[in-house]
Each structure stands twice: as structure tokens, then as C-alpha cells.
Amino acid sequence: MSSGRAAVIPVHFWGTRGSLPAPLGRDAVRGKIREALFAARNRNLTTEKAIDRFIDNDLPFAVGGTFGGNTSCVEIATGGDEYLLCDLGSGLREFGNHLIARDGPGQPHTFNVFLSHMHWDHIMGFPCFTPAYIPGNRIRIYGCHKNLSEGLLRQQSEPCFPVSFASLGSTIEFVQLEPDVEYQVAGFSVTAWKQFHSGDSYGYRFARDGKTIVYSTDCEHKAPVLDATYPFVGFFRNADLLIFDAMYSLADTVSVREDWGHSSNVVAVELAQLAKVRRLVLFHHEPAYDDARIARVFADTMRYEEISRAGHKVEVIAAYDGLRLAV
């Protein structure tokens, strides 16, 4: 822990959807416009400023915005020159485009990527990550799977993608990690943790200046084993931010989606409470849920946290593409 006030760590969510991208269709957009116009009737919205205020203050998020449709990609700012990312879902493309718009293509960067696993939704952004094509950029991909490079090489092979992985202009390295071992990367201490998921997935605990961020997506916690002795409680312990796979509502997890490798909003709250987490981020949203449904799950989750709270308050946040948090 450094002396004095701990530096704030910005966290930017570039992709928050699970399993596959879920763009808004015409009917969804039309539904939002209809609801917004209905809510705006009899209001004197004659200036852009008044309209913005109305969107921000009077419309529910599910009407005035969207949780977004890109798959897993989260950026944790390092405070230095290097970048730190969790997963390479389709949100990565937005991140790459943002960087190039800001710095131009000539500015070299170093990216440290922590891969939870190689299911397609967690790597599909890489072939469209423009910085990967630019010589001078360095990309280090960290993970615990023994065949770490295989998924990325395969998704950029004929006949699935026209540009081979080997022809990318940037320098790409794969770094094999062991779970439960602490590593130092880009100013953070990082520890990986094996999770319950088809083919295994790994969560990561990042710590710097006394702040802790845990990225734990694609893991199925089975309800009966959740108490203070459950090993994940130690992994999440006292995290300032826990990014958690809360793909389903509890009703879905215990009925149709059991053994699908993901967890519910209720399990998220229970584990966050046991581990005394400060802020819980619901992440990896089910692609079949529309904005209104995710908003309902979010509201239910906040209510559940309130009624099940035993002293320690967990702040619940629903992730959306573009969300920025200061940890």
C-alpha cells in the first residue's frame, strides 16, 4: 500500500454482454422512441438542453439508453503507459477504435490482456482490433489454459477469417500463468483463480495501492455450497469492485439454465455479502434479455441486497457498454 491517498483506478466497460453480441433491432429502437415520446407529452421540451435533462433525469435507463450488445471486454487503467484489459470480446473493437481516434495509428502501445477462457464471446473482438495490425504495438496475452494461443490462431484461419494470425503486424506474446500465484504486471499484482465452467475459466484478482478489482466471469456457482468457507469468498474478499457473471435471474438458473456454466444475480449478492465486497457489478448479460428485462433483474438485485443485508452494504451496479467507474 502506498503512502497518502490511494490513486483512483478508472475501469471502463467496453463490452458487457454474454455469449454473443446482441445489437438493438428496429423494433427495440422504435419501442424506446415510442415510450420516450409518450413520457414527453405535455412537457415543454423546446431546447436540446431541456431534452438532454429529460433523458438523463426522467427516462428510465432502459428507455433513454441501452445496456449494449458487445461481448466481454473491460479495461483497467494502469496509470502508466501500458494498457490492461480483461478478455477480447467484441467490445475490444470499440476500445481499439477509440485509441486510434485519440492517438492516431502511429503511436505504439503495449497491451496486457488477461483471458478468462477461449470461448468465442471472449476472443471474437481480436480479429477486428486494429492495433493488432499495426507494427510497433505489443500485445501480451496472459492466461492459464495450456493451449492459450490455439483459440486465437484458429479463429483467424481459413475459411473463417481472411487474415491469418501470423500476418498481424504487431508483436504478440502468450504468457502462461499458474492459478493461485501472484504476478506483477503493469503496476498491478495479479492472481488467477480457477472457476467452474465448461473447459475451465479463470478469474483474476488485481491489486494496486490498497485497491482490489476482481474480474470473475463465466463461472457457475451452485447455490447449496455458499457459505463463508466457500473458496471463492476468499478470492473475492474485501474487493473494492467485483465484476461478476450474473447472466441469469435466479428463476432461470434453477430451472432452464442449470449447468449452463453461469450464475445468477442472487448468487452474486450472496457471495459479495459473504466476501464483504464494496461494489458488485452485474456482468455478462444474457443476450436474450432486452433492456427492460436487464433493468428488472437489476432492480430485483438491489432489492435483494437490501433485504438480505446483515450489516455490510454492497453497492450493486449493472454493467453497460460505455460504463466508466472510478475504483
CB of 18 to Zn ion, least distance (A): 5
CB of 123 to Zn ion, least distance (A): 10
Strand partners, 318: 282
Cβ 246 vs Cβ 300: under 8 Å: no
The vertex-306 CA angle with 301 and 310, nearest 5°, equals 125
| Minimum CB distance to Zn ion smaller for 15 or for 96 | 15
Beta strands in the chain (DSSP E): 10-15, 73-77, 83-86, 110-114, 138-143, 171-176, 182-185, 188-195, 201-208, 211-216, 241-245, 279-283, 315-318, 324-326
CB of 99 to Zn ion, least distance (A): 24
Residue 296: enclosing H or E segment and its boundaries?
helix 291-308
Q: How far apart are CA 144 and CA 167, in angstroms?
A: 25
Distance spanning both ends of the chain, measured CA to CA = 15
Using DSSP's 3-state secondary structure scheme, residue 287 falls into coil
CB of 198 to Zn ion, least distance (A): 7
| Minimum CB distance to Zn ion smaller for 32 or for 145 | 145
CB of 128 to Zn ion, least distance (A): 18
| Minimum CB distance to Zn ion smaller for 119 or for 205 | 119
Q: Does 87 bind Zn ion (CB under 5 A)?
A: no
Q: Does 218 bind Zn ion (CB under 5 A)?
A: yes
Interaction residues for Zn ion, span 12-41 (CB under 5 A): 18
**How many residues sit close enough to Zn ion to count as binding (CB under 5 A)?**
4
Q: Does 291 bind Zn ion (CB under 5 A)?
A: no
| Minimum CB distance to Zn ion smaller for 88 or for 271 | 88
- Please identify the residue of the shown chain whose CB is closest to the bound Zn ion: 119
Q: Which residues, at least 6 apart from 42, have a Cβ–Cβ distance to it below 8 Å?
A: none
Interaction residues for Zn ion, span 119-158 (CB under 5 A): 119, 121
Which grid cell sits at 20? 454473443
- Segment contacting Zn ion (CB under 5 A): 52-60, 157-165, 188-196, 216-224? 216-224
- Segment contacting Zn ion (CB under 5 A): 217-225, 230-238, 247-255, 313-321? 217-225
Residues interacting with Zn ion, by CB under 5 A?
Answer: 18, 119, 121, 218
